[in-house]
Amino acid sequence: MNITEIEIAVKGAVKEAIAEEKAAFYVEPEKHYNHHLFVDRLVKLFKGASDWAGRIIIGAIVSAILTLIMLGFIAWGRITFKGP
């Protein structure tokens, strides 16, 4: 056997092995497309949830700051304007 014959034999064997392995992972095109749609909806859902959670957290922080400011004014008013 010369090098060309060996190359041809190896190429054929590799092609057959790859074809056999690929067959085990074959997914129908429509099913594959539906999986992409599902993943797309899932990504949009998580993006919306993260935006929603971010708004809630920022709202809670702003509310806490405003509450602390109001409590500070109330305490200052009680100390400053003690009645006779």
Q: What is the pLDDT of residues 14-50, one digit of tens each?
A: 888 887 777 777 788 899 999 999 999 988 888 888 8
Q: What single-letter amino acid sits at 2?
A: N
DSSP 28-58: -HHHHHHHHHHHHHHHHHHHHHHHHHHHHHH
Domain containing 27 equals 3-80
Does position 81 have pLDDT exceeding 60, yes or no?
Answer: yes
For the chain, first and last CA: distance in Å?
Answer: 116
pLDDT the model gives residue 84: 54
pLDDT the model gives residue 83: 59
What total of structural domains would you count in the chain?
1
Q: In whole angstroms, what is the distance from residue 49 CA to residue 43 CA?
A: 10
pLDDT the model gives residue 71: 96
pLDDT the model gives residue 61: 96
Q: In whole angstroms, what is the distance from residue 69 CA to residue 58 CA?
A: 17
Secondary structure of residue 28 in the 3-state scheme: coil
